[in-house]
Structure 1
Amino acid sequence: MVKEFTSDDDALLAELGVEVETKKAISRTPREERIIAGFEEIQRFTEEQGRQPRHDESGDIFERLYAVRLDRIREVQECRDLVEPLDHQGLLSGSISTLPADTDDLDDDALLAELGIEVDAPPITELQHVRSTAEKKAAQDIANRDRCEDFDTFKPLFEQVQKELNSGLRETRPFEMKAEIEKGRFFIVSGQKAYVAEKGETTINDQGRTDARLRVIFDNGTESNMLMRSLQRALNKDEAGRRITEPTAGPLFSDQTIDGDEASGTIYVLRSKSDHPLVADNRELVHKIGVTNMSVEKRIAGAHLQPTFLMANVEVVATYELYNINRTKLENLIHRIFEPTRLEIEILDRFGRPVVPREWFFVPLFVIKEAVERIKDGTIARYVYDPQNAQLVKRSI
């Protein structure tokens, strides 16, 4: 016996992340259903916007997705025949759009990937992917935007955030929880920066969960009056969804973390087990110094297949945890310190192509440890590395 769900049931199950399949009056294959559902989304867009979707790089990611999808449906006769009875807007009669110049060299899968569309199957079967109810609701909330009349007020904020990202004062990291959504914070969703300009009174929804009405400004000059949970869903469903951190000037390292500290990653120091003569003859001196935001064990997994690890397994000889620091900026600093002793070695990757790894240095481990201490106490700017004597020395004034 199949239970028929009401619209209220559907909404509750959607909140719980459960997809509900309703019984179809007409028997169609799952693939046909996906194609029709994809075409219906294009129809809704056309009805709401008063025009067909366009390949506009400055436009919304969903419009670009719909434009690609419509072109594919027009190209494949099987798809045209399936949706033609539904085409009351004349969408199939249009010509195939000209794609942006920078996508001319991309194949179908690469193009869809550029647009953020996951490709696990041939393009025509995957591009009609049917999203869950929660995904559709989040996408609709994000896509339904109005022109921001006072965008001139917010434009300098977006420009400043970009400068701070470029300088390393801010960084992006995966979105994790609803509590991160607060007034004054920045996010990246659907490929655009989003700023929470206003947050209304917190309420309790029918499912007993907290929510609040937001005014969200996007960097393309649009805004949306969405619910906090809608933004949360959009960020969770978007694999590229990110939180832009606040500017920090905290310590590089700390023996103990305090409330508000954000883990940044780990400095790792490795020795190679390569049998390359240059490495084998200097194994105690040749070290790779890097910074990662994942576990070191995960970072070095499959080292023998990666040119950056000299196509050989490695030994972890030291690690240092980081808090509230830009990883890339720190890694560049460490590499500049030891630049005079960078290992010049060319190896072949597993395809036989020559590669010159850039993170290996001729430097004793005790000097690396000293450099970390100098970074930790803020005095590293006073020192340079003297390779002749294998030590850090104070800069001459």
Structure 2
Amino acid sequence: MSDLDLDELRSELDDFAHPEKKGGRSPREERIIAGFEEIQRFVQKIGHAPRHGEHGDIFERLYAVRLDRLRALEECRSLLTQFDHQGLLTDAPMASGPPADSMNEDELLAELEGAAGSSDITKLRHVRTSAEKREAEEIANREKCLDFEKFRPLFQQVLADLESGRRTTRPFVKDAGFLKADIQAGQFFILGGQTAYVAEIGEPIKAPNGETDARLRVIYSNGTESDLLLRSLQRALYKDEAGRRVTEPSAGPLFDDRTGDGDQASGTIYVLRSKSDHPLVAANREILHKIGVTGGSVDRRIANARLDPTYLMADVEIVATYELYNINRAKLETLIHKVFGAARLDVEIKDRFGQPIVPKEWFLVPLFAIDEAVGRIKDGTITGHVYDPKTAHLMRFER
């Protein structure tokens, strides 16, 4: 067969095509992008562009052939340039093997042998669907952890902490508010019946959907490890009905979602909104909240609010309550006030005797941020977080 010209190369890529759809990218364009993203993942993992030649496995040689094709076609370069953060389209083709546009049919089939499950080049279907790629990424290939002895004591300590009650496990659920469940280096999870330790989190990368992602090094209690993506670990934990987060020793079970035999009701976190006509209060009424903890009735506690400077000498309304079990109310209230300290209201109120009082429990915080804090207290991840008034969300700080 004579050398492939550009028209023939284009026909090779037509293998990815389906009829054009109206609006947005066509199925063919989506499949070309998906094929290019596979090459990018190879480069990210291996550290170099795919190369021709016998030194590489069949998939590296397949990626090298595909990259040569994409470089050769102007329409493909135009489509993929915006995604080419690794400069793959501008690099010259590798010289260690024959480029795709100079290969005859026999040579091309030899490069692709075994990768497509068919010797018919027109039936190549190497590009996986998005669902298949996502499933493969979530499972990830686990390999033997060569330095597992370094991590073994950590797993032994976690097991001892769980048996002694210093740690507990919480269902892995999406945080209250608008943030996805947080994953940090040094945390332990239970996934697929194995304890998983997040040993390392790589540099942030931009996922195709625009979200920030990162490559993890996850060590498992059976002596294996994997390098799956952070978002993939999140999805796997969400899908695993037995997926759990292991709490930090310092967090402790501040309160539970339900009572058990012998549990005693300890009180309530309450969130109040003021009806005061003070200019500062009126201007911020929707985000100004008093956050407190009580062991008695909230209704009785606020009965005489209009006579108490703690309540801004005005009636209040209850906007949220959270029931607590087996907790130290004073420590919990101190923790909540510390988390929201940067948003504390700075105002002076005169009591009924004319004495100036500065209330300490009022915060300029939207209700969803309070919900988020309560959610983090529930799952044990509140440690190390404070409220950021600029973003109106909890942020992790480094000690």
TM-score with structure 1 setting the length: 0.37
Q: Which is higher, the Rg of structure 1 or of structure 2?
A: 2
TM-score with structure 2 setting the length: 0.36
